Amino acid sequence: MASGAPLLKWEAMLAAQGTHLDQYHDKLDQNGTAPVTLEVTAPTAGFIQSCDARLIGEIIRELGGGRITKDSVIDYDVGVDSLAKPGEQVKSGGLLARIHGHSLKEVQMAANTLQNAFRIGPEKAMVPGRIAEVIDG
């Protein structure tokens, strides 16, 4: 990490996908997020059994952070972060996720939907490994 090689590799990957690196760096320098932030908390204590990634993606799209059509403009300031992960233990009132949006109304609507993305249970969930199979050759 200290060598800077991972950052250079990341930027090469971004450039290969068509990212304008000067705009990317300008955005990082602004460190901008939407003006309204709301933390979504766990209604009960327990373990995260599952998290519906599709639903979270739909929430982000509705906030403006994704495309509905190929001509849709993406708002890079909105989104969801600090997501609790499957298998993680949460306390009642503990952070499940944080939503960034432009109005309190849209963020509250997103929060109501986001509550449904998490299933919390009393026992630790079996979380499959991140690597399903290694293929040599």
Does pTM top 0.85 for this prediction? no
In angstroms, the CA 87 to CA 130 distance is: 13
Is domain 32-121 classified as CATH 3.30.200.20? no
User: Is residue 48 a contact partner of residue 119, using CB atoms and an 8 Å limit?
Assistant: yes
User: Is residue 90 a contact partner of residue 42, using CB atoms and an 8 Å limit?
Assistant: yes
Query: pLDDT in tens for each of the 137 residues of the chain?
Result: 678 888 889 889 988 988 888 887 877 777 667 899 999 999 999 999 999 999 999 999 999 999 888 898 999 899 999 899 999 999 999 999 999 999 999 999 999 999 999 999 999 988 877 777 888 87
Q: Are strands 79-81 and 95-101 parallel, antiparallel or unpaired?
A: antiparallel
| 69 CB-contact burial (10 Å; exposed 0-12 / middle 13-18 / buried 19+) | exposed
Chain position carrying tokens 């933390």: 39
User: 37: closest CA among 118, 110, 119, 113?
Assistant: 110
Instruction: Note the pLDDT tens digit of each residue in 77-112.
Output: 999 998 999 999 999 999 999 999 999 999 999 999
β-strand partners of 100 = 37, 79
List, by residue range, all CATH 3.90.1170.30 domains of the chain: 32-121
